[in-house]
Amino acid sequence: MNRRHWILTTLVLWAAVPSILAQEDPGRARIGALTVTVYHGTDGDPKAAGERSKAVPKEISTRLQGEEKLRFKHYRQLGQETQPLLRSYESWAQPLKPSDEILVRFEAQGRPTGKTAILDFELWVSRKKIVKTDARLEGNRPMFVLGPEWRGGRLIIAVALAPEAK
């Protein structure tokens, strides 16, 4: 009887394991998405940004020109990545893949309301944390961070809420 009871108990537990493993962690629920873009601003030759760089949309160029510290003659986009914003977990964006020279860590500080999100934000350059702050992102207005000098110009990191997929 003990052996039969043990086998039955084992079978019941093995049947329950898939349902236990299939439960989703509510902290991993996607509550939005962030887009991280790296730009190169220079007063010199824009070709210094490299062959893989892209033209910057006029609206972004105009916005960058409006900020004194971000004002350069030429802008080029170096990379971009969109990552999910999770309810209770941190996320990392690596916009210059495959390089890990620029990393952005972000974590929601509560549920986004409408088109606003408050985040715990960190910028890592060359495996060193250079910025740690609370950030409030609104709509499609990116937050710009002036990064390090690079190839005769400066890197500019833009972080924005990604538009909702429809």
Residue 98: CB atoms within 10 Å: 5
Tokens 């941190």 correspond to 90
Is residue 4 a part of any domain in this protein? no
The pLDDT value given to residue 88: 80
Residue 12 located in a structural domain: no
Q: Is residue 20 part of a domain?
A: no
Total number of domains constituting the chain:
1
Residue 68 in any domain: the answer is yes
Structural domain containing residue 123: 26-161
In the predicted model, residues of the chain with pLDDT beneath 70 are 1, 11-23, 114, 164-166
Residue 77: other Cβ atoms inside 10 A: 20
Please tell me the predicted confidence (pLDDT) of residue 126.
87
Q: What pLDDT score does 39 carry?
A: 94
- The share of the chain scoring above pLDDT 70, in percent, equals 88
The verdict on residue 35 lying in a domain is yes
d(CA 160, CA 138): 8
Predicted pLDDT at 28: 73
- Does some domain include residue 133? yes
User: Does 81 map to a domain?
Assistant: yes
Q: Identify the pLDDT of residue 20.
A: 55
pLDDT at 111: 74
Q: Is residue 19 part of a domain?
A: no
Q: In what order do the strands lie in the sheet with 128-138?
A: 91-93, 102-108, 116-125, 128-138
- Sheet with strand 54-55: strands edge to edge: 54-55, 74-86, 30-42, 153-161, 143-150
Confidence at residue 23, expressed as pLDDT on a 0 to 100 scale: 65
pLDDT of residue 85: 86
